Amino acid sequence: MFGIRRSLSNKGNPYDNAVIEATNKIIKKEFIYQKKFENIKQLKLEMSEYVYWYNNIRIHGSLGYRSPIKYKEAFLKNY
């Protein structure tokens, strides 16, 4: 549904998953812990809305205080 693929790190190398661990922490803090879902349908709908917001509206300090979409657009203009 969200185009997410599972990835496993090599045994004994926790740094392989640093990016996804940080992303999971953000999702839990900003989304999961802030809501109570009545059913799986509601979870899917609200998760879809959150993913849209995260990629299109939420600014990211590591991307020059732009959303991922705006960052990608700027990158592709100069590429």
Whether 13 is covered by a domain: the verdict is: no
Whether 79 is covered by a domain: the verdict is: yes
Whether 30 is covered by a domain: the verdict is: no
Whether 10 is covered by a domain: the verdict is: no
- Structural domain tally of the chain? 1
What does the pLDDT read at residue 79?
84
pLDDT tens for each residue of 47-56: 999 999 999 9
What does the pLDDT read at residue 1?
62
Whether 46 is covered by a domain: the verdict is: yes
Range of the domain at 66: 38-79
What does the pLDDT read at residue 17?
77
Distance from C-alpha of 79 to C-alpha of 27, rounded to nearest angstrom: 31
Give residue 73's Cα distance to chain centre: 18
The 3-state secondary structure of the chain, one letter per residue: CCCCCCCCCCCCCHHHHHHHHHHHHHHHHHCHHHCCCCCHHHHHHHHHHHHHHHHHCCCEHHHCCECHHHHHHHHHHCC
- Residues of the chain under the 50 pLDDT cut: none
What does the pLDDT read at residue 14?
67
Whether the full predicted model's pTM is greater than 0.85, yes or no, is no
Whether 52 is covered by a domain: the verdict is: yes
Whether 62 is covered by a domain: the verdict is: yes
